[in-house]
Amino acid sequence: GDSWGIFTFLCAALCNLPALPALNCSEELGAGQSIQQTYDLTRYLEHQLRTLAGTYLNYLGPPFNEPDFNPPRLARAERVPSATVDLDLWRGLTDNARLAANYRAYSRLLCYLRVLDGQVGTAELRHRLAHFCASLQGLVLSIGGVMSSLGYPLPAGPAGPPAPPGAPVAPNDFLKKMDDFWLLKELQTWLWRSAKDFNRLKKKVPPAVVTLRLEARGF
């Protein structure tokens, strides 16, 4: 009947597919999707850090958990990569330079956070820090993927340890807490600025476009 005829026609068409002109599918501008994913991850980390920071500052206690606590940055905290760069100067950098700065900063911040994870006294907070560290590691890898997709080399050399040999340790508990406070504060600023960076970058690089090319063979 008609059903058998349709089935026979489909079988014949499938058998003759190799004789048809090749239909190739190629993905262009794949960096766009990578940038979008990295942007989404920075926004997720921003949200995640708001909860983590509140919990950790409560763990540190007063005055660190007070909303109006805004101490000057100590010289000790300079080891933590600072995001307090003039915005006009930052925007004047090339995309490659900004991506490299983000990659290096998050690699170092991740080292500090892992040390922090091993020092906290509560299991719940350690679990939250470990989860955040895993997400931040994903961000480092994602930024590296964006750089590779745009043809930029990764910054040379792995991130060094947060406290190199001979580096002074905090002489008292208050200064140690101050180091932790500035680590979270700088991380919040980096994520805020990175989200803006990747939002601008994704507007410059369109999302992935799938194109079909017909290779004429014998036509």
State the pLDDT at residue 7: 45
Alpha helices in the chain (DSSP H): 2-15, 31-60, 87-91, 95-117, 123-149, 173-204
Distance of CA 15 to the CA centre of its chain: 47
DSSP 1-58: -HHHHHHHHHHHHHHTGGGSPPEEEEEE-THHHHHHHHHHHHHHHHHHHHHHHHHHHH
State the pLDDT at residue 160: 46
Architecture of domain 29-160+171-203: Up-down Bundle (1.20)
State the pLDDT at residue 10: 43
Residues 216 and 89 sit within 8 Å (Cβ to Cβ): no
State the pLDDT at residue 179: 86
Q: Global pTM? A: 0.75
Q: Summarize pLDDT for 41-100 with one digit per residue, the tens.
A: 999 999 999 999 999 999 999 999 998 998 877 766 566 777 767 788 888 899 999 999
Indicate the domain borders of the chain: 29-160+171-203
User: What stretches in the chain show pLDDT beneath 50?
Assistant: 3-4, 6-29, 158-168, 209-219
Residues 142 and 41 sit within 8 Å (Cβ to Cβ): yes
State the pLDDT at residue 72: 79
State the pLDDT at residue 174: 87
Helices 123-149 and 95-117 pack at an angle, to 10 degrees, of: 160
